[in-house]
Amino acid sequence: MKLATWNVNSIKSRLLNVLAWLRDVSPDVLLLQELKCTEEAFPAEAFDDLGYNIALVGQKTYNGVAILAKDPIHVEQRCLPGDPMDEQARYVEAMVGSLRLASLYLPNGNPIDSEKFTYKLSWMDRLMEHVRVLLEQEEAFVLGGDFNVCPTDEDVYDPELFAHDALCHPEVRARFRATCYLGLTDAIRVFHPTERLYTFWDYQGRCWPNDQGLRIDHLLLSPQAADRLTDAGVDKAPRGREKASDHTPVWCTLSEP
């Protein structure tokens, strides 16, 4: 089973690229973030034609997350538990067969002296609590998406430049690390423990041609899913295409249970 996550930075703008990648790679599951459209405006028919079922939470202009799967999808959460007042479309969780999947778009948090950073920390606290609940169920699950976190200095091309950025802030890294320490496995680091692999390159400053990137998109696996992990990587090819998203797909493969 191959599954991937991809922040597409507007599904309407990247539709042709996403469809081309699906035809080439044919993952069983694709988790999408930053759709930037409502559920009604999502181009569902194009994915139906490729044999994908869809579960999504949309929002006009901002955010938006989705799960595409070849097998039936049974939605269980349309928002991250813990704050009924949070209306931002940043989380969807579902069962696909025996595997629980969540597509998430964690807040950016910049600038750090604003309410955006406070919201990010609160969102991460809620995620940590939800992970605790999920782990108690002792089932295979994967949390995938744009976490807007560079876990270590090896995940950013210029650590000094980003030292005071919300993506690398000590409080953010501490929460990410604490969440992983509950029992989650970072799929990429199993197979690439020290390699500098980036998943995002800014449109500005020739970041892409100079490979000045960040690793902020992650696949985190429960122990039961990690036992089935057979490979993982970053597919850089889509970032080099015309009208590319500033992110590129991160993928992993799992053996059958």
Supply the pLDDT for residue 81: 98
Whether the Cβ atoms of residue 235 and residue 25 lie closer than 8 Å to each other: yes
- pLDDT tens digit sequence for 104-119: 999 999 999 999 999 9
- pLDDT tens digit sequence for 204-249: 999 999 999 999 999 999 999 999 999 999 999 999 999 999 999 9
Supply the pLDDT for residue 207: 98
Supply the pLDDT for residue 256: 92
The H or E element containing residue 250 is: strand 250-254
Supply the pLDDT for residue 182: 98
Q: pLDDT-based confidence at 137, cuts 50/70/90?
A: very high
Spatial distance between the Cα atoms of 133 and 81, rounded to a whole number of angstroms: 11
- pLDDT tens digit sequence for 34-66: 999 999 999 999 999 999 999 999 999 999 999
Tell me the residue type at 192.
H
Report, as an integer, the average pLDDT of 76-87.
97
Q: State the total domains in the chain.
A: 1
Average pLDDT of every residue of the chain: 98
State how far the alpha carbon of 140 is from the alpha carbons of 28, 77, 134, 147, 225, in Å: 16, 16, 9, 20, 4
Supply the pLDDT for residue 140: 98
Which DSSP category does 98 fall into? Answer: T
Supply the pLDDT for residue 86: 97
The H or E element containing residue 122 is: helix 115-136
Supply the pLDDT for residue 161: 97
Token code pair at residue 244:
């590319």
Report, as an integer, the average pLDDT of 4-14.
98
Unique residue bearing structure tokens 């930075």 = 9
Helix (H, G, I), strand (E, B) or coil at 143: strand
Spatial distance between the Cα atoms of 243 and 11, rounded to a whole number of angstroms: 12
Domain that holds residue 221: 2-254
Q: pLDDT-based confidence at 129, cuts 50/70/90?
A: very high
Whether the Cβ atoms of residue 14 and residue 32 lie closer than 8 Å to each other: no
The H or E element containing residue 67 is: strand 65-69
pTM of the model: 0.98
Report, as an integer, the average pLDDT of 178-183.
98
Supply the pLDDT for residue 163: 96
CATH number at residue 97: 3.60.10.10
